[in-house]
Amino acid sequence: MPEICLIGTGGMMPLKNRWLTSCYYEYEGHALLIDCGEGTQIALAAADRKISRIDMLLLTHMHADHVSGLPGFLLSLGNSSREEPFDIYLPEGKTQTIKNLMSICGMLPFEVRFTELPTDRRFEFIAEQISPLVKIESIPLRHSTVCLGYSVTLNRRQEFQPQAAKELDIPVKYWRTLHSGESVTLEDGRLITPDMVTLSNRRPIKLAYVTDTLPFNAIADFAKDSQLFICEGMYGDPDKKQSMNEKGHMLMQDACRLAENAGAEQLWLTHYSPAEMNPKYYEKELKKLFPAVTVSFDGISLDIKE
Amino acid sequence: MPEICLIGTGGMMPLKNRWLTSCYYEYEGHALLIDCGEGTQIALAAADRKISRIDMLLLTHMHADHVSGLPGFLLSLGNSSREEPFDIYLPEGKTQTIKNLMSICGMLPFEVRFTELPTDRRFEFIAEQISPLVKIESIPLRHSTVCLGYSVTLNRRQEFQPQAAKELDIPVKYWRTLHSGESVTLEDGRLITPDMVTLSNRRPIKLAYVTDTLPFNAIADFAKDSQLFICEGMYGDPDKKQSMNEKGHMLMQDACRLAENAGAEQLWLTHYSPAEMNPKYYEKELKKLFPAVTVSFDGISLDIKE
């Protein structure tokens, strides 16, 4: 099952006691990272996460607090003896910005591959680097620069039915392939699809990750039915709503309303302003808006069982 | 008197308990910083140094562990409401690399000015941003990329002799100017130079800062008679000497020999390899080579009185 760790929870600048917002997602030994601000490589170590397991990076946007840790991260990845290509997904048109940052990296011992994602529509792809069962979707957000939200959905292996496979005379050597979600063609020409030998009783596990945006309805649709919705909450003071929204940010209360509309099971707030010294202060009030809200903190993690 | 703080002491990558090598030098409320690797803005806060006092940055070279904290540093400087121009000194030909890094900074509320320094010879200039009494010198080092060492020399105000000024009939309104080291021309046409009314009994205070280089004799000359010589010592194990020197680095022992040849009063080692988990282990042995050596640590500081 996936394990999710919010490596940092700060916005704008790293503080002595708060790393910049970044999210680690691991499934069966392979991990992805969302965003990489200054200090993220240290925050990963502080949260006991191994940089060597990270196979791909999703970037939301090009502001320094989300990308400036990239050169150090890539160099440390190189020191972890990685030689396989490393994939970076980012908004359309931004590859050159990242290449500029990488000009202080010198020669890395692995290839860095870039995939630009649309900034005018939602877009889905399979994260083969993690597992063929993991699907990623991006959504354009509304910030002061182009910015993407991401969801990561694990389409879980369904329960295998040996009895059904036996009744269909399917040789045992094909069972693992069918269980992993792939179809097979038998020697006798029959096409067997996974649904013929599995139950469909395990629902997908979905993480939605949205930061650096003003709130708008399509975010709730994007995060629909997620087990975990991680969303920015720059401030908890309702008086700051207008100024935050004008800057392309949202309040903790905005995030609670989106989580409610999304039907999310849990909401973790993140990306607090450096001026918000004690974000936990607001939690009790926020629970009136959305009971399953957590004013999260660096290193909070969740091993989703179901 | 100048106050010097070694903000971090690590090389290659920041660790949970060791920031990257960076040096803060403050004199009469104005400060300069040497190098700015990932996390330096947090390390400054951890060492209780105010980013808003920093008026200039000296960069040794363009490797990530010395410059990757720059975007975040500049943004935080902007948040500290700085509006005056900020000066960056760096090796010749490297301005574009820094501009590339700054592409994630957006609009800063102050101008960043670049001064490229020669990479083929030593070069001196006055750090007017700090004080007309502060002189900086750079020296080309021998690393895997162009790299500069720096010295910062405070030419202290000499003791003023009011009796001498009175005997020369110099109006009191000129005394402060003469004491600060400038000459004046009196109404009667006489040129008065500072040495006519001051003693010359206060010697300059010199800091030399050398990291990321193999050892060579000219470094000792460059650091000559420094009160404080800060020098890299990647490893303390003598068996690593050849491999370190081949990579353009030096051992702690190399630094001790240079300090001895320079006649430095104190040596602080820095820029330890991440593999060197307990550099302090070597201190006792190193003191046999150079008694005034300190295997320094993050935040070590010195307020030089004399």
Residues B125-150: what's their mean pLDDT?
Answer: 96
Q: Quick one: B172 and B276 in the same domain?
A: no
pLDDT at residue A305 tops 70: yes
Contact assignment for B97 to A75 by CB distance below 8 Å: no
Q: Containing domain of residue A89, as a range?
A: 3-156+203-303
In a domain, B75, yes or no: yes
Q: Which residue of B has its CA nearest to A69?
A: B38
Residues A43 and A190 placed together within one structural domain of the fold: no
* Alpha-carbon torsion (B56, B62, B68, B74), positive or negative: positive
Distance separating the N- and C-terminal Cα atoms of chain B: 8
CA angle, residues B65, B219, B275, in degrees to nearest 5: 35
Q: Do B38 and A71 touch (CB under 8 A)?
A: yes
Total domains present in chain A? 2
pLDDT higher than threshold 90 for residue A263: yes
Q: Are residues A35 and A93 in the same domain?
A: yes
Whether residue A187 is found in the same domain as residue A266:
no
Q: Do B129 and B277 fall into the same domain?
A: yes
Residue A200: is its pLDDT beyond 90? Answer: no
Q: What is the pLDDT of residue B306?
A: 56
Residue of B nearest to A47 (CA): B16
The DSSP 8-state label assigned to residue A21 in this structure reads: P
Q: Which residue has the higher pLDDT, B251 or A181?
A: B251
* Nearest CB neighbour to A42, from listed B12, B39, B41: B39
Whether residue A186 sits in one domain with residue A253: no
| Closest chain A residue to B18, measured at CA | A42
Task: List the one residue out of A246, A267, A269, A210 whose CA is nearest residue A66.
Answer: A210
pLDDT at A180 over 90: no
Q: What is the pTM of this model?
A: 0.91
CATH code of the domain in which B235 resides: 3.60.15.10
Name the residue among B75, B59, B215, B212 with its Cα closest to residue B138: B59
Are B133 and B41 in the same domain?
yes
Q: In what order do the strands lie in the sheet with A30-34?
A: A112-117, A86-91, A54-58, A30-34, A22-27, A3-8, A300-303
Question: Encoding tokens for residue A238?
Answer: 């309702």
C-alpha to C-alpha distance for B193 and B164, rounded to whole angstroms: 12
- Domain co-membership, B83 together with B172: no
* Residues B222 and B135 both lie in one domain: yes
Q: Are residues A191 and A64 in the same domain?
A: no
The catalytic position among A35, A55, A65, A212 is A65
Task: Note if A237 is an active site residue.
Answer: no
Structure tokens at B140: 């080309």
Predicted pLDDT of residue A95: 98
Contact B100 A105 (CB under 8 A): no
Q: What is the pLDDT of residue B157?
A: 82
Q: pLDDT tens, A122-155?
A: 999 999 999 999 999 999 999 999 999 999 999 9
Q: Note whether B139 and B230 are same-domain residues.
A: yes
Token pair 């005997």 in the structure block, residue? B167
The tens digit of pLDDT for each residue in A226-243 reads 999 999 999 999 999 999
Query: Which member of A38, A41, A103 has the closest CB to residue B100?
Result: A103
Helix, strand, coil percentages (3-state) for chain A, rounded to 5, are: 30, 30, 40
Q: Give the domain-ending residue among A196, A214, A246.
A: A196
**Residue B305 domain-assigned (yes or no):** no
Q: Is residue B303 part of a domain?
A: no
Out of B13, B67, B75, whose CB is closest to A13? B75
CA distance B11 to chain A (A): 12
Tell whether B33 is covered by a domain: yes
| Together in a domain, A118 and A190 | no
Both structure tokens of A255: 């995030």
Q: How many CB atoms lie within 10 A of CB B177?
A: 13
User: For the segment B271-289, what is each residue's pLDDT rounded down to a tens digit?
Assistant: 999 999 999 999 999 999 9
**Structure confidence by residue, pLDDT tens digits, B22-57:** 999 999 999 999 999 999 999 999 999 999 999 999
Helices (H), ranges, chain A: 40-46, 64-67, 70-79, 95-101, 162-167, 175-179, 217-222, 241-246, 252-262, 283-289
Amino acid at residue number B167: E
Whether B180 is in a domain gets the answer: yes
What's the ipTM?
A: 0.89
Determine the pLDDT at residue B182.
86
Q: State mean pLDDT over A59-66.
A: 98
- What is the reported pLDDT for A230? 98
What is the structure's pLDDT at B280? 97
| pLDDT tens-digit series, residues B152-203 | 999 988 889 999 999 999 999 999 999 888 899 999 999 999 999 998 878 8
Q: Give pLDDT tens digits for B202-261.
A: 889 999 999 999 999 999 999 999 999 999 999 999 999 999 989 999 999 999 999 999
Measured CA to CA, the distance from residue B270 to residue B22 in angstroms comes to 9
Tell me, what's the pLDDT at B53? Answer: 97
Residue with tokens 């999703």: A58
Which residue in B has a C-alpha nearest to residue A101's C-alpha? B101
Please compute, for residue A298, the number of CA atoms within 13 A of its CA located in the half-sphere on the CB side.
21
Please write the tens of the pLDDT for every residue from A2-17: 999 999 999 999 999 9
Residue A157 banded pLDDT, cuts 50, 70, 90: confident
pLDDT at B181: 81
What three-state secondary structure class fits B38? Answer: coil
| Chain-chain contact of A68 with B104 (C-beta, under 8 angstroms) | yes
pLDDT in tens, A282-304: 999 999 999 999 999 999 999 98
Number of Cβ pairs < 8 A linking chain A and chain B:
101
Whether the predicted pLDDT of A306 surpasses 60: no
Average pLDDT value for residue range A66-86: 96
